[in-house]
Structure 1
Amino acid sequence: MGAGGILRIAAGTALLAALAACTDMPAPDAQAPQAQPSAMRPPAPKAPVAASERSRALAGHYARVEAGLLRQGLLRTDGGGPDAPYTDTAILRNFERIAFHDEYARDRGLAQSDGRPGGLRKWTGPVRMSVEFGASVPLDQREIDRGMVTGYVARLARVTGHSISVGATADANFNVLFMGEDDRAETVARIRQLVPNINQSSINLFQTLPRSIHCLVVAFSSNNQDHTYRRAIALIRTEHPSLLRKSCVHEELAQGLGLANDSPHARPSIFNDDDEFALLTTHDEELLRLLYSPRLKPGMSYDEARPILVQLIAEQRGGSS
Structure 2
Amino acid sequence: MTQRRMLVGRARKVAFGGIVVAAIVAGGVLARADSASPSLRQIVSYFNTIVFASELSPEMASKVVAKWQDNPVGISLSGRIKPFYIKAVERHLREITRVSGVRFKQVKPNTPNAISLYFLTRAEIMNVKGKNVDSRFIQAQMLHARCLFLAYRKPEKRIVRALIFVNVEAPDALIDSCLLEELVQSMGLPNDSNNLRPSIFSDLDHLTRLSYSDKVLLRVLYDPRLKPGTPRREALGIVAKIAAQVMGVKY
TM (norm. structure 1) is 0.63
Q: Given the alignment of the two structures, is residue 121 of structure 1 paired with residue 66 of structure 2, yes or no?
A: yes
Partners of 1:288 and 1:94 in 2: CA distance: 11
Corresponding residue number in structure 1 for 2:152: 220
Cα gap change, 1:133/1:34 in structure 2, threshold over 3 Å: closer, same or farther? Answer: closer
User: Please, what is the CA RMSD of the aligned residues?
Assistant: 3.0
Aligned to 1:62: none
- Distance between the aligned counterparts of 1:125 and 1:145, measured in 2? 25
CA displacement 1:164-183 (0-9 Å, x = unmatched): 33444365611011111353
**C-alpha displacement at 1:129, in angstroms?**
0.9
1:175 maps to a residue whose letter is S
Structure 1 residue 290: Cα displacement: 0.4
119 and 147 in structure 1: CA distance in 2 versus 1, 3 angstrom threshold:
same
Task: Within 5 Å, give how 1:252-263 maps onto structure 2.
Answer: 252-263=182-193
Give, in angstroms, the shift of residue 226 of structure 1. 1.5
Hey, what's the Cα distance between the residues in 2 that align with 1:43 and 1:178?
10
1:120-147, CA deviations, whole angstroms, 9 ceiling, x for partnerless residues? 111111321111124xx5xxxx111012
Residue 95 (str. 1) matches residue 47 (str. 2): yes
* Preserved CA contact (<8 Å) 1:217 1:232: yes
TM-score by length of 2: 0.79
**Is contact 2:66–2:229 with CA below 8 Å preserved after alignment?**
yes
Provide the secondary structure at the position in 1 that maps to 2:117. Answer: strand
2:105 matched to 1:165? yes
In structure 2, the residue corresponding to 1:169 is in which secondary structure? coil
Aligned ranges 1:182-261 → 2 under 5 Å: 182-184=123-125, 188-189=128-129, 192=130, 196=131, 198=132, 202-207=134-139, 210-222=142-154, 225-261=155-191
- Name the amino acid aligned to 2:128: V
Q: Which has the larger radius of gyration?
A: 1
2:43 is the alignment partner of 1:104: no
After TM superposition, give the deviation of residue 304 of structure 1 in Å. Answer: 1.0
Residue 12 (structure 2) aligns with: 45
Q: Is the 8 A contact 2:199 2:205 kept in 1?
A: no
The amino acid across from 1:169 in the alignment is: P
Q: Would the alpha carbon gap of residues 242 and 290 (structure 1) be closer, same or farther in structure 2, given more than 3 Å must change?
A: same
- The answer on 1:284 being equivalent to 2:214 is yes
Equivalent residue, structure 1, for 2:244: 314
Rounded to whole Å, the distance in 1 between the matches of 2:60 and 2:120 is 32
Contact 1:86 1:267 survives alignment (8 Å): no
Q: Is residue 275 from structure 1 mapped to residue 221 from structure 2 by the alignment?
A: no
Is residue 179 from structure 1 mapped to residue 120 from structure 2 by the alignment? Answer: yes
Q: Percent identity?
A: 28
Q: Contact (CA 8 Å) 1:216, 1:234: kept in 2 or not?
A: yes
**What is the alpha-carbon distance in structure 2 between the residues aligned to residue 45 and residue 114 of structure 1?**
35
Q: Secondary structure at the match of 1:148?
A: helix
CA positional deviation for 1:306: 2.5
Structure 1's 276 and 252: CA in aligned 2 closer, same or farther, altered over 3 A? Answer: closer
Once the two structures are overlaid, the 10-residue window that deviates more, 204-213 or 250-259, is 204-213
Distance between the aligned counterparts of 1:116 and 1:252, measured in 2? 17
Q: Gaps (5+ residues) in structure 2?
A: 14-31
Q: Give the residue type in structure 1 aligned to 2:153.
A: S
Cα deviation for residue 206 of structure 1 reads 3.2
Amino acid at match of 1:45: R
Tell me the number of residue pairs that the alignment of Structure 1 and Structure 2 aligns.
230
- CA distance in 2: counterparts of 1:271 and 1:235, whole angstroms: 17
Structure-2 separation of matches of 1:115 and 1:174: 20
Would the alpha carbon gap of residues 147 and 166 (structure 1) be closer, same or farther in structure 2, given more than 3 Å must change? farther
Contact 1:131 1:169 (C-alpha < 8 Å) held by counterparts? yes
SS in 1 for 2:128: helix
CA contact (8 A) 1:153 1:166 kept: no
Displacement of 1:114 = 6.2
